[in-house]
């Protein structure tokens, strides 16, 4: 239990995927423009990442290892992730069409969100068990969501403030992301 | 055992193939199960359009334009909606707000049609043209426009044979926003809100004046209403407390006016939409009735033709018989 808690805290805060390991920066900058999209993207990523880490564990342990095909793991994981994202997309188009429209291209781009593949590969590298894999995936996604939502809140706030002209838009967003990353450095050594 | 007999590439190829096939089958099932039949986004977009049904966007009404937007058309083709509609569409669809397409017309104050009644000859042509049934009248009687229902679409001007319809400005719907709130040149004279929070304890109704100020300044009216804009009693205690001397109460007053006008516009749009739908239903029914009448007339005419033809035949044969009788007699 403690192990899993530490794994979660480690994935969410200490080794935050966005701000410490710099994975998944594309959606981090792309969909943090407003809160609603950020929350939608977080939910989609949370769902996909947790499921993807479970599925990729199963594929690895029960398909690739018995056949001695560990070297195919990257391809196999990408196939699994792409399928999961397509499934999420189809289901979301039916259940929440507006979110589907709002997320637009970023939804299929979860496929190429390197955090998703990163989690699957790190699970293999660190020899996590099934439960650990699922929690590690969940923790990574939760950390991603946390940072994304915090960043979106800040960007919404910045939209109404007086920013010098050369810093407007992506420039100030990059600086803010850098400062957030510095802040997250404070967690290192906690676990 | 298998792996020793079969070639070395069998395992990887077969396993990836079966993985792909399995996943493909699953995706196929899910796609079938969650098939999307209609696009509810169209309704959401349509609700944001001003419902003037003027056709300035190049589509025959607001609904077709909403459908076009949903399938990827530009959002800046609605002159009556102006920048406000573009902004709300942009935030709904999460696309960048574009400036209005000037080629289609310019945004202006809300206009209504007025008939110069002394000159009206009662031809009823404008009544047919009005998409929201806002013109009252009957053939050979004077017509008049119901000003509260007129959307200012211009469609009645063109059919009028005596040019007795004018477009006049309705009461202004866009509030005069004080320029110092938004213009970049004057913003230097006003200091920025430093979020010091001194205004918060001053407010007698528990509003957070600095947050509300930001919402009003960026024209996020929904956000402002969430921050209890309408609870403000305009006591201007926050103005007195503000070290930056921001015009807090003035901005709330302007925001309230803007929200009020927005709500009125929305109500008007909802009414116009309903009237347009009824108008369309009626037009369709008339067209169907006309078609039925036409067909009935056609069949009647055909029958009559048949009857005439047969009576002519009968008369001819009678005449011929008589002639033959005469010939035999002679």
Domain residue spans of chain A: 2-185
Q: Residue A31's closest chain B neighbor by CA?
A: B94
A75, A94, A161: residue with CB nearest B36:
A94
Give Cβ neighbours of residue A25 (< 8 Å, ≥ 6 apart). A18
Q: Do residues B58 and B128 both lie within one domain?
A: no
Spell out which residues of chain B touch residue A159, defining contact as CB-CB under 8 Å.
Answer: 218
Domain assignment present for residue B302? The answer is no
DSSP category for residue B199: T
Q: Do residues B155 and B137 both lie within one domain?
A: yes
pLDDT value of residue B4: 58
ipTM for this model: 0.71
Q: Do B44 and A98 touch (CB under 8 A)?
A: yes
Last residue within a domain, chosen from B126, B157, B174: B174
Spell out which residues of chain A touch residue B16, defining contact as CB-CB under 8 Å.
Answer: 72, 75-76, 79
Last residue within a domain, chosen from B207, B238, B263: B263
| pLDDT tens-digit map of B144-159 | 998 888 888 888 888 9
CB A97 within 8 A of CB B42: no
Number of domain units in chain B: 3
A80, A97, A104: residue with CB nearest B40:
A97
Instruction: For residues A5-9, give the mean pLDDT.
Output: 88
- In this model, does residue B182 exceed pLDDT 60? no
User: Higher confidence at residue B11 or residue A128?
Assistant: A128
Q: Do B92 and A98 touch (CB under 8 A)?
A: yes
Q: Do residues B192 and B255 both lie within one domain?
A: yes
Write phi, then psi, for A128 (nearest 5 degrees): -75, 150
- In this model, does residue A110 exceed pLDDT 90? no
Domain span at residue B66?
41-104
CB A133 within 8 A of CB A123: yes
Helices within chain A (DSSP H only):
2-9, 25-30, 35-59, 73-95, 97-103, 114-125, 130-159, 170-185
Domain assignment present for residue B284? The answer is no
Average pLDDT of chain B, as a whole number: 84
A69, A94, A157: residue with CB nearest B15:
A69
Q: Do residues B164 and B186 both lie within one domain?
A: no
Give B197's pLDDT tier (boundaries 50, 70, 90).
Answer: confident
Helix (H, G, I), strand (E, B) or coil at B197: coil
A68, A87, A97: residue with CB nearest B30:
A87
Write phi, then psi, for B244 (nearest 5 degrees): -90, 0
Nearest to A146 by CA among A3, A4, A11, A53: A11
pLDDT value of residue B303: 92
| pLDDT tens-digit map of A19-69 | 888 888 888 888 888 787 888 888 888 888 998 999 999 999 998 888 888
Helix (H, G, I), strand (E, B) or coil at B152: coil
The four Cα atoms A94, A97, A103, A106 give a dihedral, to 10 degrees, of 30
pLDDT-wise least confident of A47-51, A158-162, B48-52, B181-185: B181-185
Q: Do A101 and B215 touch (CB under 8 A)?
A: no
Counted across chains A and B, CB pairs separated by less than 8 A come out at 71
Last residue within a domain, chosen from B86, B104, B122: B104
A37, A87, A93: residue with CB nearest B94:
A37
Q: Residue A58's closest chain B neighbor by CA?
A: B19
Spell out which residues of chain A touch residue B214, defining contact as CB-CB under 8 Å.
Answer: 157, 160-161
Q: Do B217 and A67 touch (CB under 8 A)?
A: no
Q: Residue B24's closest chain A neighbor by CA?
A: A83
The pTM (predicted TM-score) of the whole model is 0.53
Q: Do residues B72 and B135 both lie within one domain?
A: no
A90, A95, A162: residue with CB nearest B30:
A90
Q: Do B30 and A69 touch (CB under 8 A)?
A: no
Give B91's pLDDT tier (boundaries 50, 70, 90).
Answer: confident
Q: Do B41 and A97 touch (CB under 8 A)?
A: yes
**What is the C-alpha separation between B93 and B175, in angstroms, rounded?**
26
**What is the C-alpha separation between B113 and B244, in angstroms, rounded?**
47
Give percent of chain B above pLDDT 90. 14
Q: How far is A67 from chain B (nearest CA, A)?
A: 7
pLDDT-wise least confident of A138-142, A150-154, B267-271: B267-271
Nearest to A83 by CA among B15, B37, B21: B21
Pairing of strands B165-169, B144-145: unpaired
Average pLDDT of chain A, as a whole number: 87
């Amino acid at each position: 239990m403690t192990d899993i808690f530490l794994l979660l805290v480690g994935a969410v805060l200490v080794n935050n995927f966005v701000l410490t390991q710099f994975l998944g920066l594309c959606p981090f900058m792309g969909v943090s423009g407003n809160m609603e999209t950020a929350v939608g993207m977080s939910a989609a990523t949370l769902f996909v990442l947790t499921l993807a880490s479970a599925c990729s564990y199963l594929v690895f342990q029960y398909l690739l290892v018995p056949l001695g095909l560990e070297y195919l793991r990257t391809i196999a994981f990408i196939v699994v992730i792409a399928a999961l994202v397509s499934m999420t997309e189809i289901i979301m188009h039916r259940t929440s069409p507006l979110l589907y429209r709002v997320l637009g291209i970023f939804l299929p781009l979860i496929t190429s969100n390197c955090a998703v593949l990163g989690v699957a590969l790190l699970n293999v590298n660190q020899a996590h068990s099934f439960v650990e894999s699922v929690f590690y995936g969940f923790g990574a996604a939760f950390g991603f969501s946390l940072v994304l939502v915090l960043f979106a809140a800040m960007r919404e706030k910045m939209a109404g403030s007086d920013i010098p002209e050369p810093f407007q838009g992506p420039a100030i967003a990059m600086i803010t992301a850098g400062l957030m990353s510095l802040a997250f450095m404070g967690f290192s050594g906690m676990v | 055992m298998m792996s020793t007999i079969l070639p070395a590439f069998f395992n990887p190829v077969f396993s990836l193939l079966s993985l792909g096939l399995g996943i493909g089958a699953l995706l196929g099932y899910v796609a079938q199960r969650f098939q999307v039949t209609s696009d509810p986004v169209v309704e959401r977009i349509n609700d944001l359009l001003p419902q003037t049904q003027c056709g300035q966007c190049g589509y025959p009404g607001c609904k077709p334009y909403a459908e076009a937007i949903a399938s990827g058309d530009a959002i800046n083709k609605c002159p009556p909606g102006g920048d406000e509609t573009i902004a709300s569409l942009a935030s709904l669809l999460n696309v960048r707000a574009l400036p209005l397409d000037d080629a289609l017309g310019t945004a202006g104050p809300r206009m209504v049609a007025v008939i110069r009644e002394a000159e009206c000859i009662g031809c009823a042509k404008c009544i047919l043209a009005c998409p929201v049934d806002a013109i009252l009248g009957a053939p050979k009687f004077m017509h008049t426009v119901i000003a509260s229902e007129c959307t200012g679409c211009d469609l009645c001007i063109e059919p009028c044979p005596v040019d007795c319809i004018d477009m006049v400005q309705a009461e202004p719907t866009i509030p005069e926003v004080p320029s110092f709130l938004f213009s970049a040149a004057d913003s230097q004279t006003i200091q920025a809100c430093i979020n010091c929070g001194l205004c918060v304890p001053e407010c007698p109704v528990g509003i957070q004046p600095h947050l509300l100020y930001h919402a009003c300044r960026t024209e996020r009216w929904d956000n402002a209403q969430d921050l209890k804009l309408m609870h403000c009693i305009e006591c201007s205690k926050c103005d007195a407390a503000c070290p930056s001397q921001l015009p807090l109460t003035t901005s709330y007053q302007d925001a309230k006016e803007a929200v009020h006008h927005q709500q009125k516009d929305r109500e008007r749009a909802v009414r116009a939409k309903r009237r347009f739908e009824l108008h369309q239903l009626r037009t369709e029914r008339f067209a169907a009735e006309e078609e039925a009448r036409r067909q009935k007339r056609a069949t009647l005419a055909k029958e009559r033709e048949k009857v005439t033809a047969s009576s002519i035949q009968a008369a001819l044969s009678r005449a011929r018989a008589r002639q033959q009788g005469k010939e035999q007699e002679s």
